[in-house]
Amino acid sequence: MTKAKTKNWVGFDLGGTKMVAVVYDSSFKVLASVKNKTPMRDGPKAILARIQETLSAALAAAGVEPANVRGIGAGCPGVLDLDKGVILEAPNLGWKKVPLQSLLKEWFASDVVLLNDVDAGTYGEFMFGAGKGARTLLGVFPGTGIGGGCVYEGKLIRGKSGSAMEIGHIPVRENGRLCGCGNRGCLEAEAGRLAISAEVAQATFRGEAPYVAENAGTDLKKIKSGLLAKSIKAGDASVERIVRNAMKLMGRGIGGVVNLLAPDVVVLGGGLVEAMPDLILEEVKQGMKEGGMASMVQPLKIKVAELGDDASVQGAAAWAAAELG
Amino acid sequence: MTKAKTKNWVGFDLGGTKMVAVVYDSSFKVLASVKNKTPMRDGPKAILARIQETLSAALAAAGVEPANVRGIGAGCPGVLDLDKGVILEAPNLGWKKVPLQSLLKEWFASDVVLLNDVDAGTYGEFMFGAGKGARTLLGVFPGTGIGGGCVYEGKLIRGKSGSAMEIGHIPVRENGRLCGCGNRGCLEAEAGRLAISAEVAQATFRGEAPYVAENAGTDLKKIKSGLLAKSIKAGDASVERIVRNAMKLMGRGIGGVVNLLAPDVVVLGGGLVEAMPDLILEEVKQGMKEGGMASMVQPLKIKVAELGDDASVQGAAAWAAAELG
């Protein structure tokens, strides 16, 4: 057995629709990758069984014994207690108080590090993607909500026991829309994909978005990022206006965050950005000028994420390596 | 000469009205302190001469030779280039591109560290005051503007070459008041002391603030923190309403910052807070609930700064020690 073999790292990304396990060698070359659906309908226990199965399959495919795994990094949704390694609540998974860290430790007799999935994606872009070499990297991932992460001088900024960088919940509009968090006017309530889809559904109902009317109708669930992009391409002007307004407002919010963190690189990722990167970059840049100080905004680089869906799993493994050494 | 003598630290705080130099021993006991007026009317060169004089006087009073100074930490206003140790612009001092770090090095043959004055104050509260032991400390200092600083896991968060944590310039109101930075609706344009004073001057003009009318009139320059506190005590209800609204809005802005940084302690300081701590704490707490997520806001402690004017000079010296070791 070579010495390098004892330094394999495993990344795991747990999502509401799928989960991915990737086994890396000590220099982060991919040895094997296994993807499975998250069995949402079968309940929390079935999800845990699938996690064990997915990681075991990836290790088997890589020909790596658990004993030769130096550490597992797992990117998780929801509210985490990082000190205890517990997922306190993950509504997407129907989970409450799941001690994932100790379960993984038990199953694979390996060191385990949990982190928030958006933090994992941000760290992945920092190590291997669009944020490489940044002193301060701000990652913003508009999706159903709007997730954020920050790597400062090589380390993720996190809360005492959980996540930080809840950029989706900075207040951007007084007396604005009610947000899932209970407050009003949060960035994601005003400019997240769900907020956009709700406005588009209204426009569709009013007959202002023929492409959406024909291809999705007025059901929020069907008005997703790809469809929004197609509708804009097809000439639904009201949809373009709605998306541009939202992304400009998001840029304004990001400008405020830039004033606080003075990042040298801002990376935008996630499904909405992947679907229409140019339009979003344009509006975010404009919004950032309105919300951020010129001295902070002018010198920074704003980029589109490079790793797509792989950012979180790569970042989770790399963060485990950073934490466990 | 004892070994301890070679580990003296010097703190310097450069303000628009006064400057302070303090000499500490290796365990941060004060050996001597000298305060002088900043000779604003005599121009930039006179200010530099006064800085040299003030530091020399403090060293002499402490009986410490420059050769026995391990390092000088200088808290400075304005926009800094921390890499080069240059004050790029300090409107309060009439300064542009002053290489203060190399001047201090030359004069005292000592290592020198510059930092933003609000950062210095935040670090001072972290090391010696209300923020002792915090994992993540957010300092907010409403004054003419609203300054902010953050200590994360023992280190100040700073920009690549200058300050970060420009909390006064996060956008809190769309299409709001024009701010000195050129944007609209920045926190300090809406809720800083100058914004409060401007509203109070209007109320005074309308005859709604008899105490202010009698003791200051409608001149912005005369409507300062102490006067505002006295006017509220004297029963100027409109002044109380204006201050409460502004501080609640500030709390809302701080709530957004809390969502990003997940601090365990928030320290409020500066003249306005010192003049009416209870009223301000009450409104800031209320605003924080509206702008911050319950999971972030509930566990944190919010405190009034403990070191007053000394925070910056102590913080500057301690930061020099942290950076130079």
Cβ contact (<8 Å) for A262 and B164? yes
On the question of pLDDT at B325 being above 60, the answer is yes
3-state secondary structure (DSSP) of residue A145:
coil
pLDDT at B5: 46
pLDDT at B1: 43
CA–CA gap between residue A119 and residue A315 (Å, rounded): 8
Q: Which of A164, A255, A260 sits opposite B167 (nearest CB)?
A: A260
- Tokens representing A29? 């070359």
- Tokens representing A212? 């959406």
Q: Tell me phi and psi for residue B174, to 5 degrees.
A: -70, 140
CA trace torsion A152, A154, A156, A159 (10° rounding)? -70
CA of A262: which chain B residue's CA is closest? B159
Query: Which DSSP letter does residue B178 get?
Result: B
| CATH number assigned to the domain covering A4-124+310-324 | 3.30.420.40
pLDDT at B190: 97
Domain boundaries, chain A: 4-124+310-324, 130-304
Cβ contact (<8 Å) for A296 and B261? no
Cβ contact (<8 Å) for A260 and B160? no
CA of A148: which chain B residue's CA is closest? B260
- Tokens representing A155? 């380390």
Residues of B in contact with A80 (CB under 8 A): none
Distance in Å, alpha carbon of B264 to nearest chain A alpha carbon: 7
Query: Which DSSP letter does residue A153 get?
Result: T
pLDDT at A16: 86
pLDDT less than 70: residues of chain A: 1-6
Q: Do residues A127 and A315 make contact, with C-beta atoms less than 8 angstroms apart?
A: yes
- Candidates A284, A205, A273, A268; CA nearest to A239 is A205
Cβ contact (<8 Å) for B253 and A171? yes
| CATH number assigned to the domain covering B130-304 | 3.30.420.40
Domain A4-124+310-324 identical in fold to domain A130-304: yes
Distance in Å, alpha carbon of B164 to nearest chain A alpha carbon: 5
Helix and strand tally (H, E) in chain A?
12, 13
Instruction: Provide ipTM, 2 decimals.
Output: 0.92
pLDDT at B4: 45
C-alpha separations of B136 from A106, A159, B8 in Å: 32, 8, 28
CA–CA gap between residue B187 and residue B169 (Å, rounded): 6
CA–CA gap between residue B247 and residue B241 (Å, rounded): 10
pLDDT in tens, B6-19: 689 999 999 988 99
Cβ contact (<8 Å) for A260 and B173? no
Residues of B in contact with A176 (CB under 8 A): none
Q: Which of B160, B253, B259 sits opposite A264 (nearest CB)?
A: B160
Cβ contact (<8 Å) for B183 and A148? no
pLDDT at B78: 84
Q: List all residues 6 or more positions away from B3 whose beta carbon is below 8 Å from its beta carbon.
A: none
Q: What is the pTM of this model?
A: 0.93
pLDDT in tens, B153-167: 999 999 877 779 999
CA–CA gap between residue A198 and residue B283 (Å, rounded): 34
Cβ contact (<8 Å) for B174 and A173? yes
| Cβ contacts from A onto B, under 8 A | 124
| CATH number assigned to the domain covering B4-117+310-324 | 3.30.420.40
Cβ contact (<8 Å) for A164 and B290? no
**Residue labelled with tokens 């509260």:** B125
CA of B172: which chain A residue's CA is closest? A172
pLDDT in tens, A104-141: 999 999 999 999 999 999 999 999 999 999 999 999 99
CB hemisphere CA count around B71 (13 angstroms): 18
Distance in Å, alpha carbon of B293 to nearest chain A alpha carbon: 6
Q: Mean pLDDT of all residues in chain B? A: 94
Element of type H or E holding A265:
strand A265-268
pLDDT at B7: 87
* Mean pLDDT computed over B22-49: 94
* Mean pLDDT computed over B17-30: 95
B-interface mutation test, from A88, A174, A265, most B Cβ less than 10 A away = A174
Q: Do residues A95 and A108 make contact, with C-beta atoms less than 8 angstroms apart?
A: no
Q: Do residues A324 and A111 make contact, with C-beta atoms less than 8 angstroms apart?
A: yes
Q: Which of A136, A165, A291 sits opposite B260 (nearest CB)?
A: A165
A-interface mutation test, from B295, B298, B301, most A Cβ less than 10 A away = B295
